[in-house]
Amino acid sequence: MKRQFVKALLGGLFLAAGLAQAQDVVRIGTLSDYPPFEYKDATGQLKGMEIELGNAMCKHMQAKCEYVTMDFDALIPALKAKKIDAVLAQMSITAERKKAVDFTDLFTLAPVQYVAKVGSGINEDPATLRGKTVGVYSGSNSETYFKKRLPKAKSGVATKSYPNQDAIWLDLEAGRLNTTLTDTTVAYEWLEKTGKAKGFDFAGKPVNDVEIFGEGTGIAVRKGDPLKARFNAAIKKVLTDGTFAAENKKVFPFSIAPASK
């Protein structure tokens, strides 16, 4: 009897070990300086709305998530080089990026908008930017927008690229920039915590250019990777089971969920 019990116990342990080994690891490339989506707290732990949603999706996928933080413009090269398996970093789905990677279904809406001093006269009309300097996140769609649509030689608009959005906010506060064009969601976070008290606010309406900015964000994977289908199923799950809505409510008084089909 004791021998049978030991055998059953060992069999259970081996089965558990086999299941643990069978659980695949998904290396997710992300950011560490893009609150409220991705940031590190005082202890150095990675936090944020997308991190929480990423954890929920990996749970649905029965996969172990490992986050790898890097600069935004390094994410797609790292994905193609197989240093990571997916990108979850508020990456807009654009035709240009789709040439290099596959994207999941739409995950969040991400309009872009200028932020400037109240009374600056800046709005979405490019004419209001002539002679001004705009801060843009290196590798972002905002940087692409100025290169393609408003090159300095033709528009009279100067741009300065930064490795992270935090550095842009600091230079905007210090008067070294006139404005920045960034995700409305990220700007909202900064304005509520810092910007409005110092006289800054949204300047004009969101910039509408689907070719450059896409319709929203998704999770990027390598071309042809079946991981795309798994993430699509997980996205659908968090959007319909209340997980997305709960995380959204923690940081925004408005929804950034894509419209249900």
What confidence tens digit (pLDDT) does each residue in 68-105 have?
Answer: 999 999 999 999 999 999 999 999 999 999 999 999 99
We find that the CATH architecture of domain 112-213 is 3-Layer(aba) Sandwich (3.40)
SS3 47: strand
Domain boundaries along the sequence of the chain: 23-109+215-251, 112-213
pLDDT of residue 149: 97
What distance, in Å, lies between the first and last C-alpha atoms of the chain? 59
Do the two domains 23-109+215-251 and 112-213 of this chain adopt the same fold? yes
Q: Quick one: tokens of 198?
A: 């110092």
Using a pLDDT cut of 70, give the percent of the chain over it.
91
pLDDT band at 261 (very low <50, low <70, confident <90, very high): low
Check residue 108 and report its DSSP letter.
B
pLDDT given at position 224: 98
Q: Indicate the average pLDDT of the chain.
A: 92
pTM of the model: 0.82
Residue 184 · residue 62 · CB < 8 Å: no
Rounded Cα distance between 174 and 193, Å, is: 17
CATH superfamily of 23-109+215-251: Periplasmic binding protein-like II (3.40.190.10)
Reported as a single tens digit per residue, the pLDDT across 182-191 is: 999 999 999 9
Per residue in 24-42, pLDDT (tens digit) is 999 999 999 999 999 999 9
